[in-house]
Amino acid sequence: AYVVVRGVWGEKMSQELHQYATRRLSPHKVPVDFIVIDELPRNPTGKVERRLLRAREQARVAADEVAHAARAS
C-alpha cells in the first residue's frame, strides 16, 4: 500500500499501521508492505492516477530484480 506520511516514518509506525489494518480489514486485504511516497499522483480533477502508481511499482520491482541479479553474480 502507498502511504503519504506527514512526519517521520519508521518501523514503529509501520507496525502500528499494519496492526490497525489487521484489525479493520479482512485478512486478504491487509497490505504486505507499505511504500512511503511524498504525495499521491493526481490528475487535473484531483483523482489519484493509479496508472502512475502501477508504473512506479513496476519500476521498483525491476530495479529490485536488477540489484538481486547483480548480487548473485
In whole numbers, what is the pLDDT of the chain averaged over residues? Answer: 91
pTM, to two decimals: 0.69
40 φ, ψ (degrees, to nearest 5):
-80, 135
What is the residue whose three cell numbers read 511524498?
A: 38
Asked if 4 and 40 touch (Cβ cutoff 8 Å), the reply is yes
Confidence class of residue 68 from pLDDT cuts 50, 70 and 90?
A: confident
The answer to whether 3 and 36 have CB atoms below 8 angstroms apart is: yes
With cut-offs at 50, 70 and 90, classify the pLDDT of residue 73.
confident
The pLDDT-based confidence of 4 (bands split at 50, 70, 90) is: very high
pLDDT tens per residue, range 25-53: 999 999 998 989 999 999 999 999 999 99
